[in-house]
Amino acid sequence: MAEIMLKFTHVPRSMPDKRPAKQRASDFHEIYDGFSPDAARSQASRCSQCGVPFCQQGCPLANNIPDWLRLAADGRLEEAWRTSSATNNMPEICGRICPQDRLCEGICTIEQSGHGTVTIGSIEKYITDTAWKEGWVTPIKPPRERKQSAGIVGAGPAGLAAAEQLRRKGYKVTVYDAYDRGGGLLVYGIPGFKLEKDVVERRIRYLEDSGVKFKFKTRIGEKVTLQKLRDSHDSVLIATGVYAAKDLKCPGVGSEGVFAALDYLTASNRKSFGDAVPDFDSGALDAKDKKVVVIGGGDTAMDCVRTAIRQGAKSVTCLYRRDRANMPGSQREVQNAEEEGVVFEWLANPDAILDSKGKAKAVRAGKMKLGEPDASGRQSPVKTGETFDVKADMVIKALGFDPEDLPALFEEPALAVNRWGAIKVDYRTMETSLPGVYAAGDIVRGASLVVWAIKDGRDAAEAMHKAMKAAEAAAKVAAE
């Protein structure tokens, strides 16, 4: 079975690499090795076609997994790809970065029976990478061109999925994004060792070739107002994600060498495009030869620690205030990070950043224990009174993200948001409190997952289509 398991390119999971982080930095490439066709068939044929497709229920897109696994096992890869891409706009991306252990693979019947899950994500990736290689993915040619247009704010996975679905129906689609490239967190958040940037760029090119227009460096709410978009398009989608970083509140947090996770990851991702990034080029945002402490226990924190290892950090420590079992990030990611040499300090909360002449030199951490469960049922961490110091010349805050104040930015007080600032929608239609304006992805759910953003984008596009079709029919009747 060895050849068909997910493999690391550096060391097997059973043999932790004991070398210092710096020495290991150059060894790491991608989580997955490519499948050979035989290995993919062999892995796909492990699916027992159990009759109760739990895997499908575990996938937010309700992907028809058993069917495309069977087709892949039979070597009918083009049909497998057509089946898989019928419900997913970016199967090769989900195959790479979905936390499958919490989704489709976590409830695979074979996994539940103790025989190790069918590696659904890597087969999905293989099928779609093959489709691109073989030229099966061709630009969209809608059966009919429509006069109506949709304006989409945000070129992350929610906006891109909606753009594709609407273009397929023949609408004119324009996507506006504040960044200089499409992809949102797919390009500037998620590191390249998990998701290669050319895989995302290929998707943007495909949409451009399909007639979708992109207007980059266009932050809606600044030069272009939301009202202007509403006047220019028949339907508008807000898919702006969540970018207000939660901050650390402790003495010393303003010291030199303390950074927000997204600033750190964006700089690293921009370097991989060859961009000039002054704060990286000056060494400030480069972890090379530094003692790095990352604060947080989610997937963003895992991306930071693993990026720091790859940049050649002297040491990387992750502080999280709960224990391993209660961390929000994927267990697989923690395992990856541990194998790469990251030290985890569980039940540790930063009390202060200690500095020397304004420069961070250590994090003083308070030891915690788990107390009574809170309203959500999770045990709250409480201080034990003990402290310890971890040396640090770079501290990265990875505590999560909140929505920005969109009603203020868009000067639309009538845009209803919930108490966390996420946009309120009618979940049957994804329509906001503003008629003809829809919302999808993280800006509705709060920080979530790519696969949920795709699902929301598809649902919103369907509702936008229904509304525009109804408006077209009404206009026809009125004209008669």
Ligand X SMILES: Cc1cc2nc3c(=O)[nH]c(=O)nc-3n(C[C@H](O)[C@H](O)[C@H](O)COP(=O)(O)OP(=O)(O)OC[C@H]3O[C@@H](n4cnc5c(N)ncnc54)[C@H](O)[C@@H]3O)c2cc1C
**Is residue 120 a contact point for ligand SF4 (CB under 6 A)?**
yes
Dihedrals φ, ψ of 475, to 5°? -65, -35
Pick the binder of ligand X from 111, 124, 299, 393 (CB under 6 A): 299
Reported as type and span, the H/E element at residue 57 is helix 54-58
Q: Which does 63 bind (CB under 5 to 8 A by kind): ligand SF4, ligand X, none?
A: ligand SF4
- Find the angle CA(319)-CA(448)-CA(260) to the nearest 5 degrees: 45
Q: Rounded to an integer, what is the distance from CA 321 to the centroid of its chain?
A: 23
Site for ligand SF4 in 51-90 (CB under 6 A): 59, 61, 63, 65, 88
Q: Tell whether residue 423 is a contact of ligand X (CB under 6 A).
A: no
According to the binding rule CB under 6 A, does residue 103 interact with ligand SF4?
Answer: yes
- 94 contributes a contact to ligand SF4 by CB under 6 A: yes
Neighbour-count burial of 273, counting CB atoms closer than 10 A to its CB (0-12 exposed, 13-18 middle, 19+ buried): middle
Residue 120 touches which of ligand SF4, ligand X, none (CB < 5 to 8 A by kind)? ligand SF4
Instruction: CB nearer to ligand SF4: give 195 or 261.
Output: 195
Work out whether 131 is an interface residue with ligand X (CB under 6 A).
no
Which one, 68 or 176, has the nearer CB to ligand SF4? 68
In whole angstroms, give the CA distance from residue 18 to residue 227.
58
Q: Is 44 in the site for ligand SF4 (CB under 6 A)?
A: no
* Residue 436 region by backbone torsions, left for phi larger than 0, else alpha for psi between -120 and 50, else beta: left
List alpha helices for 169-241, DSSP H.
Answer: 185-188, 197-209, 226-232
d(CA 382, CA 398): 20
Residue 98 binds ligand SF4, judged by CB under 6 A: yes
Judged by CB under 6 A, the number of residues near ligand SF4 is 15
Closest to ligand X by CB, 157 or 257: 157
Helix (H), strand (E) at residue 160: helix 157-168
User: CA separation (Å) from 38 to 76, 80, 126, 294?
Assistant: 13, 15, 12, 41
Give the separation between CA 367 and CA 355, rounded to whole angstroms: 20
354 has which bridge partners?
362
Residues 214 and 187: their CA atoms lie apart, in Å, by 16
Q: Which residue among 73, 104, 265, 308 contacts ligand SF4 (CB under 6 A)?
A: 104
d(CA 54, CA 110): 10
Residue 93 contacts ligand X per CB under 6 A? no
Give the whole-angstrom CA distance, residue 168 versus residue 162. Answer: 10
* Shortest distance in whole angstroms from residue 250 CB to ligand X: 22
Between 120 and 236, CB nearer to ligand SF4: 120
Q: Which does 221 bind (CB under 5 to 8 A by kind): ligand SF4, ligand X, none?
A: ligand X
Binds ligand SF4 by CB under 6 A, chosen from 67, 92, 111, 124: 124
Beta strands in 220-358 (DSSP E): 235-238, 244-245, 258-260, 291-295, 315-319, 343-345, 348-356
Site string for ligand X, 262-281 (x = CB under 6 A): ---x----------------
Residues 419-458 that bind ligand SF4 (CB under 6 A): 451
Q: With CB under 6 A as the contact rule, which of the stretches 70-78, 97-105, 291-299, 461-469 interacts with ligand SF4?
A: 97-105
| Alpha carbon distance 243, 397 (integer Å) | 14
Q: Is 200 in the site for ligand X (CB under 6 A)?
A: no
User: Residue 61 binds which entry of ligand X, ligand SF4, none, with Cβ cut-offs from 5 to 8 Å by kind?
Assistant: ligand SF4
Q: Which of 53, 95, 257, 400 binds ligand SF4 (CB under 6 A)?
A: 95
Q: Which does 66 bind (CB under 5 to 8 A by kind): ligand X, ligand SF4, none?
A: none
Interacting residue ranges for ligand SF4, rule: CB under 6 A: 59, 61, 63, 65, 88, 94-95, 98, 100, 103-104, 120-121, 124, 451
Residues of this chain that bind ligand X (CB under 6 A): 97-98, 153-159, 176-179, 184-185, 189-190, 194, 219-221, 239-241, 265, 299-300, 303, 441-443, 448-451, 453
